[in-house]
Amino acid sequence: MSSIDVVGTHWRWIRTAGRVAGAAAGLTALSAGLLMRQAAEARRVIPMAEAPPPRGDGVYGAKFGGKALELVILGDSSAAGYGVHRPRETPGALFATGISRRLRRPVRLHRLAVVGSVSAGLPYQVDAALEYQPELAIILIGGNDVTHFSARPAAVRHLGDAVRRLRAAGCRVVVGTCPDLGAIQPIKPPLRWLARRWSRQLAAAQTIAVVEAGGRTVSIGNLLGPMFEADPVRMYSEDRFHPSVEGYARAVSVMMPTVMAVLGTDDRAVLPVAEDVRVLSEAADEAVRAPGTEVAPAGRWARMRRYRWFTARPATAGPVLGGDSTGGVVGYTPEDHEVG
C-alpha cells in the first residue's frame, strides 16, 4: 500500500467504529454522527502523505571492526520512520547506532518495515528478513490494525507466527506493542476514547502472543502522550500524526534497555529498576496500564521489568531528551554509518 494508510483508509475504520460503537455501547444516532464529524475534521487537518521515509540500510559502527550484528526492522510506518527526512533520523538508524556504540561492534541494518502495513503483512517481511540470517529483529506494529479495523485474533496470530519463525531461526526479537492512538491530537473525544480502548486491547493481546512465541515486548501505549501533548510542534512531524525526529528518538530510548538486555549485555545501565513475575495474562494487562514495561518469558510465567530510559539525543543537533546519564546512546555522527 502507498502513503499513510492510517490517513487514507483510516476513515473507513472510523465509519465502522461509529456503527460498532453504536451497536455495542448503545450510542444514539447523534453520537455515531458525532464520530463521523470528528473523523472528517481529523481528515481535514492531517495532510496526506507526500513521500516514503528515507532508508537507513547499511553498516553502523564499522570503525569498531569485527563481524557485524545483523539487525532487521519490521513493521509499519512507525518502524520505517515515516515523517523524518534523513536516513540517520529513522528508528532503525537510531537503534543501529546505539547498539554498535554500546557493544563496540558493527551493526548492519536492514529496514524491511512497510508504510501502511498491517500485521497480515508480517509473513512477507519475515520471509525477506530470514534471507539475512538476522541476530536481532525489532518489530513495531499495530496502529494500522486498529485503524483498518483488522480482526484482532488474526492480527495477533500473524504477529505471534512472525516471532515464532524468527526465534526458530535463532533470532532474538523485541516488539514495541500497539501505541495509544487516543493520544493523536486531531482525534477528539469521544472518538479518542474508542481509539484508546481498541489500542490497549490489541497491545495486551500482542504481548501474550509475543511472549508465548519466545519474544519480549515493550509497551508503548501513551508513554509519549504527555510529552506529545505538551509540545506537539516539537514531538510530531508535519502531518501531526507520526512522531518527529525527537519523537522517534524518545521512543527508541524507551526500547533500548530491553534491546540491550536481550542481546545479553552486562552493562549496568540495563539493570531493571523494578521487576515482578506474573501470570502472562495479568502481566499483559499490567503492561498496558504501565507503558514502558518489558514483558519476557519466564518458564510458565512472565517477567515484568521496568528500566531507566537511555538518554535520547536526536539525530540532529539539540539537547539531550531526558532519561539517565548514559551519554546520548542513540545519538548519531556521520562516521557512524557506511551505506552498503
Distances (CA, A) of 188 to 38, 203, 267: 7, 21, 43
Q: Mind telling me the catalytic residues? A: 77, 239, 242
Match 493520544 to its residue by C-alpha cell.
183
On the 0-12 / 13-18 / 19+ scale of CB atoms within 10 A, 216 is buried
Under a CB-based contact definition with an 8 Å cutoff, are residues 248 and 91 in contact? Answer: yes
Under a CB-based contact definition with an 8 Å cutoff, are residues 217 and 291 in contact? Answer: no
Three cell numbers, residue 38? 470528528
Q: At what angle do helices 191-212 and 280-289 cross, to 10 degrees?
A: 140
Q: Which of 204, 203, 250, 205 is nearest to 225 (CA)?
A: 250
Under a CB-based contact definition with an 8 Å cutoff, are residues 210 and 218 in contact? Answer: no
How far, rounded to the nearest angstrom, does the alpha carbon of residue 71 sit from its chain's CA centroid?
Answer: 15
Q: Which of 332, 159, 176 is nearest to 249 (CA)?
A: 332
Under a CB-based contact definition with an 8 Å cutoff, are residues 115 and 150 in contact? Answer: no
Q: Which of 218, 212, 219 is nearest to 298 (CA)?
A: 212
